[in-house]
Structures are given as C-alpha cells and as structure tokens.
Amino acid sequence: MSEYKAIRVAYGEALAELGAENEKVIALDADLSHATMTCTFAEKFPDRFFNAGIAEQNMISMSAGLSTMGYIPFASTFAIFGAGRAYEQVRNSVAYPHFNVKLAMTHAGVTLGEDGGSHQAIEDIALMRVVPGMTVIVPCDANETRKAVKAAAQIDGPVYLRLARLPSLIFDNDMPFEVGKANVMKEGSDIVIFTCGIMVETALEAAKDLEVKGVHMAVVNIHTIKPLDQAAVLKYSQSCKRILTLEEHSVIGGLGDAVADALIGNGDFKFKKLGVQDRFGQSGKPDAILKEYGLTKEAVINEVQKMIN
C-alpha cells in the first residue's frame, strides 16, 4: 500500500534529527510552529528554538544575526510571509552579506486550499530565484525533504526550501539527492516533462496513463531550481524535442522559465509551461483548486496529446 506523508511533517522530523547531530543548528518560527512543524524541534531542543511571534521580518533579521555567531538558523513560516512579507530582509539582511541562513517555508502553492489567494504563495520561487547567491530547492516527498534539509545545512550561504502542506506520496527511499542534480523518475523518448514538488506525483500518474496509449514520456524531477541542472535539461530536451514543465507556481519566473532560459539558443523545441497562468489563487478544496488551475493528471495528458498530434 502506498504511503503518504506531508512534506512539512518530514521537514520537522528532519530538522530535529539534524539538531541532534549538530548543536549549531537552531530553529526560528513566526508563531506557526505547529503548522510548519518546527514544534518537533522545539520539543527536543527548547533552548535552541526561538518564536519571533507574528513578526516575520524580525525573524529573518534575527536569523541573520545568529548566523554571524556561528549558528545555522532554519527560519520557518508560511511561504507567502517568509518569501513575500520579509523579502527585503531576505535580500538585504541575509543574501546581500551571504549569511548562512536557511529559509524553510511551508504551505507553498495553491494547495494551501481554503486560506485563499492572500495566503497561497505562487510567486515565491520567482522571488527567491532572482536573489543573487540563493539556492532554491523544492523537494517532492518526505524522503527527498529529509535529504534536502541535511544538504541545506552543509551549504555555506542562503538556501530557500519550498515545502508543501498536504500529504504526498513517498517515493523510493534510495532515490539519490544532490543539490543541482536532477532525478530522472521515468525514461521516455516522445516528450519530457520537467517538474518539481508535489507535481512529480501528478506527472508520473500522467506518464503511466500515456504509456498505455503508446506515448513514452520522460519525467524529470528538478528538485533544485537554482542552480539548475542544465545538462539534464538539454539532454532530455534534445532527445525528446517536445517539452512540458509542470509546477504548482506561477508560470512567470518559476521552474518553467528556468528551463526556458537553459534552452535559449540550444535547438528548436515544442515547449509549454503548465502552472498558474498569471492569476492569484482562491479559496477552495485543494483538489478543486488544482483542477481549476489545470494542475491535474488529466490536464497533463490533454496537453501531451496536443503536442504529439
């Protein structure tokens, strides 16, 4: 039977494990620790946990200061607040001096659901991707999240971890994780789909159904948006010639644009970005919202059939 676990839950567990291994790891939260799951760390290491209250900008500045004392701060809140409300502090207080702060932001994308468009971060990848020196990671499941947290701690400099709210399928525990190195989830020769986060499961489901129809779609998990695995992008684009990107994020500035940047001047391709099409999110059940924004297995299959035909 398939096992599901929320990526944010895996983050909380991984952070606590990391805290046991390295006493320099500390956690900060903006009064949402039972949602971001930093409460797991707080219970084990109360002296290394700091609740900044509903003051995300202060939390980021606190993290920056603590990093100068040799600590490795993991700062967490909802992505809309950590990447949006505190953007200036992320840029000037963390990234500009290249401080060793890890921004682990949860509840990203439209699957936040009923909280609506005001809380659904659909531009956070774009915001973080444009910040000089920022590493941007979007893990696809609980196992990849654990590996990403440990990898983030080993990077000397700012890292943005984009973490989802909903339970998602857990893939093979032996799947490798290397920052800047894509994982090929399925081989294919007719079309390639580059995806990340919880959309990896959707892409694989679509690929399975397409295989029955005689269409062989490669599925590539781009868990690191920056630095992008350009070699993997070029390899599969050149062998397939038809390219889809799929992300629970705006099509402006996210994974799709990162892939497009890598392709410029490197051949002629059929190319389509699937994601949020220049719209804000809205309140509703996550499944209904995904259907509304064309982020379903059926939407992927429909687009593939258009490109193939």
Mean pLDDT taken over the chain: 97
| Rounded mean pLDDT, 197-213 | 98
Collapsed DSSP state (helix, strand, coil) of residue 252: coil
CATH (residue range 4-169)? 3.40.50.970
pLDDT for 244 beyond 80:
yes
For 13-37, b where at least 16 C-beta lie within 10 A, e where not — what string? Answer: bbbbbbbeeeebbbbbbbebbebbb
The predicted model gives 28-43 an average pLDDT of 98
Confidence band for 309, pLDDT divided at 50, 70 and 90: confident
Return the CATH architecture of domain 183-308: 3-Layer(aba) Sandwich (3.40)
The rounded distance, in Å, linking the Cα atoms of 197 and 137 is 9
Provide the residue count of the chain.
309
Alpha carbons 45 and 63: distance in angstroms, whole number: 17
Which listed residue (56, 123, 144, 247) is catalytic? Answer: 56
The answer to whether residue 93 scores a pLDDT higher than 90 is yes
pLDDT digits (tens, 9 = 90+) for 54-86: 999 999 999 999 999 999 999 999 999 999 999
pLDDT for residue 236 is more than 70: yes
Angle (CA) 114-116-117 rounded to 5° is 160
Helices and strands (H, E) in the chain, number of each type: 13, 14
> Would residue 144 show up in a list of annotated catalytic residues for this protein?
no
Element (H, E) at 173: none
pLDDT confidence band for 1 (50 / 70 / 90): low
Give me the residue spans of the domains in the chain.
4-169, 183-308
Let me know if the fold of 4-169 is the same as that of 183-308. yes
Q: What is the DSSP letter of 193?
A: E
Model pTM score:
0.97
